[in-house]
Amino acid sequence: MGATKVVRRLGDQGMKLVMLVVIIAVTGIGLGLALGYPISRITFEESDAIRLDQARLAGQVDPVLALTAPTDLPLGWAPGDPATAAFGLLGTEFCGEEVELPTALSAEQAAVFTNEADGSLLISQAVRVDQWQSAKEYVEAVETAVGECDEFFRNGVDGTRAKVEITDGMGDPPITDHVARTFVATDGSNVQVWSMMAIGDVITSTLYAGPAGPQQSLMSDLESRILIRTAPASFALGGVGSDATTTTITGDTTQTSIIEGGAADETPGAGEGDGATTTVP
């Protein structure tokens, strides 16, 4: 009788073990299907961005040609006050994070333009740095900094605070070593659209600021013209920059400091800014 109970108990335990193995197996398969299904449905967005041969371009790009030229702009734009270049992008903070500019091997070139029709402003900057890897890493560091916040609060010269929302830049990136964003003040006072590119060992940036955003194609058109001049093998028709324009525009060689929106004295999220910023129209 006792032997019968032992056999029956062993049989029950064996059955439980089999059931446990089945449950584990089924759960594992179920989990695999649950994970595998959405992964198999992921579609990666195709990009037309060109990967430049940065090593080949190193030392070959004139920073002056990496600036927006007067002939790049549509009618209505005219040269502005060169002193305004101090509020450009290079060497500033992004979302409260300092992104140190690499060692410069040239003066920071700058060009400023204004549109009297609506009071908008455009600041173009370019500088050659110590190596093409440094230019590429700087753009990546800026991308990382702005990627970590979607809004910030900006202090005005009159002591007021305005919330600024961060969205993607306008248009598709023309090259892979590129970062762009749009800053929109929620009180409707200002819109800033900017982009930055690494071309060989040159870093170039373009900042638009105005009461409203620029026309849809403005930023991409300016980037294309710069790339045609500086990387004609990849962008100019037939591989020759036949429409490249050589324009010498000298700029203040002083390190740029603060821009309103995405620059120093701004903090991500709902935090207080560290100080007042200069208002850019």
Q: Given a cut of 70, is residue 274 above it in pLDDT?
A: no
Does the pTM of the predicted model rise above 0.75? Answer: no
Percentage of the chain exceeding pLDDT 70: 65
Looking at residue 106, its amino acid is: S
Q: Rounded to whole angstroms, how far apart are CA atoms 51 and 182?
A: 23
Distances (CA, A) of 135 to 129, 146, 169, 177, 275: 7, 17, 20, 9, 29
Percentage of the chain exceeding pLDDT 90: 53
Q: Which of 35-44, 83-92, 121-130, 178-187 has the lowest mean pLDDT?
A: 35-44
Residue 126 near residue 63, CB atoms below 8 Å: yes
State the pLDDT at residue 46.
Answer: 56
Model pLDDT for residues 79-110, shown as the tens digit of each residue: 999 999 999 999 998 888 889 999 999 999 99
Q: Given a cut of 80, is residue 238 above it in pLDDT?
A: no
Residue 251 banded pLDDT, cuts 50, 70, 90:
very low
Residue 248: which residues within 8 A CB-CB, separation 6 or more?
Answer: 64
Report helix, strand or coil for 278.
Answer: coil
Q: Rounded to whole angstroms, how far apart are CA atoms 227 and 244?
A: 10
Q: Given a cut of 70, is residue 271 above it in pLDDT?
A: no
Report helix, strand or coil for 26.
Answer: helix
Q: Which of 48-62, 150-164, 218-232 has the lowest mean pLDDT?
A: 150-164
Question: Cβ–Cβ contacts within 10 Å for residue 230, how many?
Answer: 26
* Helical segments of the chain, H only: 2-41, 54-57, 132-146, 218-230, 232-235
Q: Given a cut of 80, is residue 72 above it in pLDDT?
A: yes
State the pLDDT at residue 162.
Answer: 80
Q: Given a cut of 50, is residue 137 above it in pLDDT?
A: yes
Q: Which fold has domain 54-268?
A: Protein Transport Mog1p; Chain A (3.40.1000)
Residue 153 banded pLDDT, cuts 50, 70, 90:
confident
Q: Given a cut of 80, is residue 236 above it in pLDDT?
A: no
